[in-house]
Structure 1
Amino acid sequence: MPGPPGEPGPLDAERAHLAASRTALRAMRADAEALDIGDVTANWVNAAVLQSEIDLRVKSLADLAHAPLFFGRLDFDGFPDPYGAPVPAADTAPDDTGERHTFYIGRRHVHDHDGDPMVIDWRAPVSQPFYRASGKDPQGVALRRRFGYTAGELTAYEDERLSGPGADAASGPAASTLLQREIERPRVGPMRDIVATIQPEQDTLVRASVDGTVCVQGAPGTGKTAVGLHRVAYLLYTHRERLARTGTLVVGPNRSFLHYIEQVLPALGELDVKQATVDDLVRHPQITVRSRDSAEAAGLKGDARMARVLRRAVRSGVTVPTEPCVVVRGSRRWRVPAYELEEIVRELLDRDMRYGAARDALPQRVAHHVLVRMEQAGEAPDDRVQDAVARNAAVKALVKTVWPQVDPAKLVLRLLSDADFLAAQADGVLTPEEQRAVLWPKPARSVRTAPWSAADAVLVDEAADLIARTPSLGHVVLDEAQDLSPMQYRAVGRRCSTGSATVLGDIAQGTTPWATASWAEALTHLGKPGSVVEELTQGFRVPRDVIAFASRLLPEIAPDLTEATSVRESPGDFAVLRHAPDALTDAVVEACRAALRREGSVGLIAADARTEELGAALREAGLTPLGPGEETTADSRLTLVPATLAKGLEYDHVVLDEPRAIVDGEPDARTGLRRLYVALTRAVSGLTVLHAAPLPGALAAPSPAWED
């Protein structure tokens, strides 16, 4: 039940606690800033490391004006440990004074000068009931209170009584006015955290074990990206030491997307999580991506079969010895016959070892055979002698001839330039037609000047891993994963081969020719077969009319997926308008002007080929638009978005220009319809579709919201 802003008692008490908590946070920051490490470190290196940790601690204790210190409160009838699981309440009601054990839930921990908690971190076990408790399962909670804020000021509260006398029959998200208001709050600027509005099914995914990989199939507006980011924050809280040692990473589809989400983790107090695109991960110091493959070539280079071709190519230079190796030490000559050398080489080839590790092992194996002969002759060599033999000139010459060094970039250059070499390595793997499609139009002579593409860079990364193992991180979040090729999945999987991953995506939004067909297949390429796949279908951001309109495309683009629903209703904020071809651009400009009269961000999404014309028309009308990735402000809220860059972004109001042009801008109809599905579902509050050409696919059926 909402608490009126004018009610003096409870609101004044809550505001006083907020003020006291802010004072305590400032004291915590001041204590951290005042730390003197002059006499506690052994040397300047240790001092520098410790000071950097202190600086990070100070930064994490900043009091962010746009992020209230707490957003909820839990009153327990039992006696929960604030850092552990709550103790179930006794069968008796609270004592006569009505006193309960109260905890405020916020974005970070705050304690007073005695060390007693004033705000509990949302990731602590005692906070879990804030997200999961209900009238049917109160989890020891007598009362859950949500707070409403306006411009950083606490202005309202809302109570749900979950147990005891007067318990609410209906509780949870559907019954919460403040929660609904927070979900529907207009968006200006980058993506913000959803820590105050996490739903029970989302919380289950956020708190899943760090030891397992989780795949989230999420319809538009279901919060899958937020789930992934909050999961990172939760894992860092729960396994701080482990993940600080092994590292975490968020992988997104493009720079615009990463810029959009970059403020979420800092708002949750996590400042040391790296973000990258797949192209960033596979960047090689020797190559520069300067070309773009055809869809056929990119699809073949991204095919998992290329891993087999590369494995053959990496090992193609290994030869079987035909001459013995003679090692001279002092006055003695030690001979390892060719057949023994052949056995060593074949054994190393048969083992599943990195090429470089096997090459390093070869001289040691040869040296071991020499030591056996020394022992048979009555000598007593030790490990130092074996190392010396392994460094012997004759052994080095043997290794150089039999197991030559391989440069990954030069190897891939040869593979894509030399038709005969490619044919030898791809025999039985790629057809002759596929081999011709993979080859560069003109052979390249130099790594520096070769026409490298993004798909080529992934091949170089694969080759590099075949030579030397790629270091693994503790946890990787992979967002918009449905667009990755099998080879790109392998590239990401190498970065978490000994860790875990959170895979986020939507099969219906796959817009590349090699888009993921199934999550089971994708997880196998990632190196995490059999991982849990969870589906989110309850939308919280995209209005109900909008998601219903977009979902008409599902039978054509992803027939196996469950149609999403939404808790949001925005009557009057959805329209499909048809105009004459020569009037369409002017109508789009006027629709943008009308959207700007409302509160929140505005995105004009159009086919890439239409953006130049629309941008010029907007500027002529005095509506200078931002580009994707540029931060919106109160004075600049209109962004012109090419359809190919819209994925993952959100705007309060979307003006969608000419759906047919978006579909026709793709190489095939299915990919075009998926691109259109993405564009339609970027709206958080309202959507206006303007078109001159007939609407594509199932969208052509009439709707009450349409006007002609």
Structure 2
Amino acid sequence: MTAQSVNANDPLERERAHLASSRAALRAMRADVEALDIKDVTANWVNAAVLQRQIDERIAALADLAHTPLFFGRLDYLHAPGAEKAEGAEGERFYIGRRHVHDGDGDPMVIDWRAPVSQPFYRASKKDPMDVGTRRRFGYTGGELTAYEDEDLTDAAGGEQASRLLQTEIERPRVGPMRDIVATIQPEQDEIVRAGIGGTVCVQGAPGTGKTAVGLHRVAYLLYAHRERLARTGTLVIGPNRSFLRYIEQVLPALGELNVAQATVDDLVGHVEVRGADSADAARIKGDARMAEVLRRAVRAGVTMPVEPVVVVRGSRRWRVPAYEIEEIVRELLDRDIRYGAARDALPQRIAHAVLVRMEEAGEAPDDRVQDAVARNAAVKAAVKAVWPAVDPAKLVLRLLSDAEFLAEHAAGVLTEDEQRTVLWARPARSVRSAKWSAADAVLIDEATDLVARTPSLGHVVLDEAQDLSPMQYRAVGRRCTTGSATILGDLAQGTTPWATSSWAEALTHLGKPDAAVEELTQGFRVPREVIAYASRLLPAIAPGLAAATSMRESPGDFAVRAVALDGLDDAVLAACGEALAREGSVGLIAADARVAVLGELLTAAGLPYLAPGEETTEAARLTLVPASLAKGLEYDYVVLDEPAAVVAGEPDERTGLRRLYVALTRAVSGLTVVHAEPLPGALG
């Protein structure tokens, strides 16, 4: 491997010239789209509006981001890809970048990183060069191409060597929201990114292994490889909270993908306004998969057997369907276990069919129009209303949580009496609107809604921080991809809810994807070696079955643990923040939720401006004050961790508290300073 800097004028200038030509070609591609005139090619205003929207999206996708490298690598093939590898055959050269760019003749100047021909950039090695002679990486400073580095893959005897530019890119200070990792994807990450759309993939990833970025790049890859299919069925990224979604929202647009929806689980189940909160025990029971059976029973509770026949009058004739025959129809629909609403829609047609049989026996020749008319007959509609009444999911859940007898009837043998008392509201609400619904209640309403009518399925769903979901929340997400696939991302060691999953097999079963492949990422790329080693001391207590993560970072990172007197804690935290701000990059001050207000006042009094989680850092404001409960998934160049004992004490139990602490310890990219007055947890002593 040889490295060349800006002083190597000739090769570097040629690469800069290619970059300038590629940017000019991209501008020309965008100008061509902007110049399209559609006034004479659409039949009506609806078609015109749809086409114009597609053109606008195409124009936005062709934007040239000035400070984002258009290409980051080059592959020099030994032979033409796909051609017979004949001796003396001339290979081709491809520049690998974030999107495809072609010149005026249609010849490629930059190849999309997702194209098959780009795959060797991530996977080729000296052991398996994949017909690549030289792999070149480019270094950039402020959007300007400043260096390149070549790796000769034909020298099998030379051994693998670390890339200096790759290492520099991984360790580059992080200012602003999460950015893509397209230039640094590693072989094990690439295998997950390019996995087929047909199956679900679960990624168990230790902190700093890039699992979130892998999931987002997987969406971008699937949209490239299966664009028409996913354009019809849709894609969705689900994150743990709004702060997290704001943090990651720029990754996909930087890769040219603008139409991927993002939501939290609470957004998905937002049938009612959430204004209340459950105790930990109540939330755990409401989130238990057993509640699905309670709801299934309650939804069907209104179905009753008929006691009167249905008499349909048409003209001078009266057609009678006896009660016992209607009961047979009702029982058959119940036995089929189809959704409540679908069965209710089928019932009048089944009764009408029974009437048509009698008509045919009497010598008439009714057709489908007659059957539809009979199904709309007032007598049939009245019978359906009495036998199979409509169900309002929110009202049903309201009754379950307010009426002890109703709950006991449908939870018998499923929930214990103590569990039933725990989930019942202390003050029953009078209406859906006045009820103080909790987040767990909203999930129950979503389950009931699906029991009544099928939830539409998407083509692909990415679920991040999945370890924190309850079984009922897994079911809610699974309903959104019953006919599609999913990418599940998480870390069992970072589960910080009372209902956090203990195994991916269990979680995937609740999700409805029990056959999903589980991949494990243990090679860290962002968290410094000393930091991840320190945090990993907690693993035996919080996740005994998981292997400790390692780090490929060459630098150990800045790491310090400072014990101070109780009355000196605040000053020590402010001093640590000042030291971090003296360096380049973002700074996160992470503290127990109960300490955030106090620290906010201290920062203001000290003249240190600070942001809330998810807000974009700038040179004027690089410090973010982060409640420990919102730290998951976020990263900062430097982290100051305030009083670990308070972070642990802020959770319902010690194990959950230690998991929360593990999360907080692993948010640092370049350096971590732990400041404490109380004794540290035993594992960190």
TM-score by length of 1: 0.96
Structure 2 residue 101 is the aligned partner of structure 1 residue 110: yes
Given candidates 514, 517, 520, the residue that maps to 1:532 is: 517
Aligned to 1:195: 182
Residues 21-65 of structure 1 deviation map (CA, whole Å, 9 limit, x = unaligned): 000000000000000111111001000000000000000000001
Tell me how far 1:168 sits from its aligned partner: 6.8
Aligned partner of 1:706 in structure 2 is none
Matched residues in 2 for 1:226 and 1:14: separation?
28
Equivalent residue letter for 2:67 = H
Determine the structure 2 residue equivalent to 1:38. 39
Q: Show the counterpart of 1:703.
A: none
1:74 — aligned with what?
75
Residue in structure 2 matching 1:462, options 447, 454, 466: 447
Contact 2:288 2:470 in 1 (8 A): yes
Contact preservation (8 Å) 2:528, 2:557: no
Q: How does 1:261-272 map to 2 (within 5 A)?
A: 261-272=248-259
- 2:167 matches 1:169: no
Q: Which letter maps to 1:12? A: E
**1:569 CA displacement:** 4.0
**Amino acid paired to 2:240:** P
Is 1:399 the counterpart of 2:399? The answer is no
**Residue 135 of structure 2 is aligned to residue 144 of structure 1:** yes
Letter matched to residue 275 of structure 1 = Q
1:693 matched to 2:682: no
The 10-residue stretch of structure 1 (323-332 or 57-66) with the greater mean CA deviation from structure 2: 323-332
Alignment partner, residue 50 of structure 2? 49
User: 2:277 matched to 1:277?
Assistant: no
Q: Output the CA distance in 2 between the equivalents of 1:235 and 1:549.
A: 37
Give the Cα–Cα distance (whole angstroms) in 1 for the partners of residues 556 and 641 of structure 2.
18
How far apart, CA to CA, are the structure 2 residues paired with 1:648 and 1:78?
43
Cα 1:607–1:569 change in 2 (3 A) is: farther
**Equivalence for 2:59:** 58
* Distance across 1 between alignment mates of 2:137 and 2:113: 13
Residues 570 and 686 of structure 1 are in contact (CA less than 8 Å); yes or no, is this contact kept in structure 2? no
Shift of 1:77: 1.2
2:233 aligned with 1:232, yes or no?
no
Assess if the C-alpha contact under 8 Å between 1:223 and 1:540 holds in 2: yes
From 347, 357, 364, give the equivalent of 1:372.
357
Contact 1:106–1:121 (8 Å) recurs in 2? yes
Letter in 1 for 2:191: T
Q: Does 1:636 find its partner at 2:621?
A: yes
| Cα offset, 1:378, TM superposition | 1.1
Are residues 482 and 88 of structure 1, via their aligned partners in 2, closer, same or farther at CA, if it must alter by over 3 Å? farther
Q: Deviations over 1:423-449 (max 9, x none)?
A: 111011000100000011111101111
Q: Give runs of aligned pairs for residues 290-689 of structure 1, distance below 5 A.
A: 290-571=275-556, 573-689=558-674
Q: Deviations over 1:369-425 (max 9, x none)?
A: 111111111111111111111111110000000000010111111111111101111
Measured in 2, the distance between the counterparts of 1:8 and 1:607 equals: 53
Query: In the TM superposition, what whole-angstrom CA distance separates every residue of 1:659-694 from its partner, at most 9, and x where no partner exists?
Result: 000000000000000000000000001000010111
Q: Deviations for 1:114-167, whole angstroms, at most 9, x for unmatched residues? A: 00000000000000000000000011101100000001000000001112xx56
1:579-625: CA deviations, max 9, x gaps?
00000110000000000011100000000111111111111111121
User: Could you say which residue in structure 2 is the equivalent of 1:6?
Assistant: 7
CA deviation vs aligned residue, 1:461-498 (integer Å, no higher than 9, x gap): 11111001111100000000000000000111111111
2:25 counterpart residue number:
24
Cα deviation, 1:610-664, whole Å, max 9, x if unaligned, reads: 1111111111111121111111011210000000000000000000011000000
| Counterpart residue number, 1:83 | none
Q: Give the residue type in structure 2 aligned to 1:50.
A: L
Deviations along 1:240-261, one digit per CA (max 9) or x if unpaired, are 0000000000000000000000
Paired letter, 2:473? Q
Give the AA of the match of 2:193. V
Q: SS at 2:320's partner residue?
A: strand
CA offset digits 1:86-130 (Å, max 9, x no partner): 44644x356xxxx64100000000000000000000000000000
> Percent of aligned positions with the same letter in both sequences?
79
8 Å CA contact retained: 2:4, 2:147: yes
Q: How far off is 1:697 after superposition?
A: 2.9
Distance 1:105 1:572 in 2: 31
> In the TM superposition, what are the counterparts of 1:247-266 in structure 2 within 5 Å?
247-266=234-253
> Which residue identity lines up with residue 433 of structure 1 in the other structure?
D
When residues 251 and 433 of structure 1 are mapped into structure 2, their CA distance, relative to the original with a 3 A threshold, is same
Question: Could you tell me which residue of structure 2 aligns to residue 159 of structure 1?
Answer: 150
Distance across 2 between alignment mates of 1:220 and 1:59: 33
8 Å CA contact 1:160, 1:167 repeated in 2: no
Hey, what's the Cα distance between the residues in 1 that align with 2:466 and 2:156?
Answer: 43
Q: Report deviation, 1:170.
A: 2.9
What CA RMSD, in Å, does the superposition of the two structures yield over aligned residues? Answer: 1.0
- Aligned pair in 2 of structure 1 residues 387, 571: CA closer, same or farther (>3 Å)? closer
Provide the TM-score with structure 2 as the length reference: 0.99
In 2, Cα distance between the equivalents of 1:149 and 1:74? Answer: 18
SS at match of 2:624: strand
**Does the 8 Å CA contact 1:575/1:688 hold for their aligned counterparts?**
yes
For residues 243-290 of structure 1, give each alpha carbon's deviation from its aligned partner in whole angstroms, at most 9, with x where no partner exists: 000000000000000000000000000000000000000011xx2111
Q: Which runs of 5+ in 2 are unaligned?
A: none
* Corresponding position of 2:170: 183
* Structure 2 counterparts to residues 192-231 of structure 1, below 5 A: 192-231=179-218
Question: Hey, what's the Cα distance between the residues in 1 that align with 2:624 and 2:568?
Answer: 21
Aligned length: 684
Matches of 2:553 and 2:145 in 1, distance apart? 25
Q: Following the alignment from structure 1 to structure 2, what is the Cα–Cα distance between the partners of residues 697 and 578? A: 15
Judge conservation of contact 2:531–2:557 (CA < 8 Å) in 1.
no
**DSSP-derived class of the 2:357 partner:** helix
User: 3-state DSSP class of the match of 1:687?
Assistant: strand
User: What secondary structure does 1:175 align onto?
Assistant: coil
SS in 1 for 2:191: helix
What is the letter of the counterpart of residue 140 of structure 2? Y
AA matched with 1:397: A
Counterpart of 1:176, as a letter, is S
Contact 1:76 1:89 in 2 (8 A): no
Per the alignment, in what secondary structure is the counterpart of residue 599 of structure 1?
coil
Distance 2:91 2:621 in 1: 48
2:137 counterpart letter in structure 1: R
